[in-house]
Amino acid sequence: MLIPRSHPRAASLHIREKLVSGYRKGLVVEEGLLAHGRGEMFDYLVGEKTLKTSHAAIKAAAHMLLSAKHPVISVNGNMAALCAREIVRLAQVTGAEIEVNLFYASKKRKKAIANFLKKNGARKVLGFDAKFSQKIPRLDSARRVVDERGMFIADVVLVPLEDGDRTIALKKFGKKVITFDLNPMSRTAQTADITIVDNVTRGMELLVETCKKMKKSSLEKNFKFDNKKNLNQSILTIKNNLGRLSHA
C-alpha cells in the first residue's frame, strides 16, 4: 500500500510496513509483530518524537560505545527489519562487531538476518557459526548462545528491544549494557546502564550522527550519566502527556 507523506500517521505506518516486510522475508517472528505493538503504544505516549531525556541518553550511549575496547551490536529480527542500514553505519563509526542473537532462534532465520545485513553493507556478521558458540551463564533462553569473537568478550553491548533476563545476565557477566526501549518501566529499561527511550527508527539515526560528531580522540574524560534519574524524567513526561490528554 502506498501511504502519502501528508498522512498524519505516515511515519508510524511506514515503520509498520517495514516490519511486515521483514516478517514476509523471514527476518521477524509473529511474536515480533506483537512486541512492535507494545512499542507503538509507548510511542504514542512519548508523542512519537525523541524526548529531551532520550537525546541525553543517546549522547551517553555514543560516549560509552566510542570509549569501549570491544563494543558489540546485538541484532534480533525486529532490529534487522527496522534498522539494517543504521546498524551497519553504527558499526562502521564505532568499530563495533555486529552479532545476530535471537530469542526465537533458528538457523534459517539467523542466516536470513545475516544476509539481509550484508545486503545493507555489513562486511562481517557474527552469531551463526556453531564453531564459535559460547554460553552466557545464568540465562535459560536461546539468547544465552553468543559468539566467542563478539558478545562473549565484549565490554559494551547494545541490546535493543530486549527481554529483561538477558540484560540482567549480561550485566552479571560483567558487560555494560545500552538498550533502546520505548517502555521506560520495562525490566530491561530499568536494568541497563543506559536506556534510550525512543523508537529505534528515530534513535538509531541520531545515535549514528552523535557518534560521528563525538570523535574517539577527543572524548570527555569525566562524562557522567545517571540512568535512573533520566528514566524517571521520561516517566514523568509520559505522565504529563497522559494528564494533558485526560484534561483535553
Residues that bind ligand PTJ (CB under 6 A): 29, 31-32, 35-36, 38-39, 42, 76-78, 82, 102-104, 161, 163, 180-183, 186, 199-200
Q: Identify which of residues 191 and 199 has a Cβ nearer to ligand PTJ in the complex.
A: 199
Residue found by looking up cell 501511504 in the block: 3
Q: Identify which of residues 29 and 88 has a Cβ nearer to ligand PTJ in the complex.
A: 29
Closest by CA to 186, choosing from 66, 35, 79, 67, is 35
Q: How far is CA 215 from the centre of its chain?
A: 22
Shortest distance, CB of residue 198 to ligand PTJ, whole angstroms?
Answer: 7
d(CA 109, CA 30): 13
Shortest distance, CB of residue 191 to ligand PTJ, whole angstroms?
Answer: 12
Shortest distance, CB of residue 217 to ligand PTJ, whole angstroms?
Answer: 31
Residue found by looking up cell 564505532 in the block: 94
Half-sphere exposure of 115 (CA within 13 A, CB side): 10
Q: Identify which of residues 27 and 67 has a Cβ nearer to ligand PTJ in the complex.
A: 27
Question: Which residue is at the shortest CB distance from ligand PTJ?
Answer: 39
Q: Identify which of residues 149 and 202 has a Cβ nearer to ligand PTJ in the complex.
A: 202
Q: Identify which of residues 35 and 151 has a Cβ nearer to ligand PTJ in the complex.
A: 35
Half-sphere exposure of 74 (CA within 13 A, CB side): 29
Shortest distance, CB of residue 95 to ligand PTJ, whole angstroms?
Answer: 24
C-alpha dist (Å) from residue 91 to 85, 96, 124, 222, 242: 10, 5, 10, 24, 37
Which positions ≥6 away from 223 have C-beta within 8 Å? 60, 63
Shortest distance, CB of residue 77 to ligand PTJ, whole angstroms?
Answer: 3
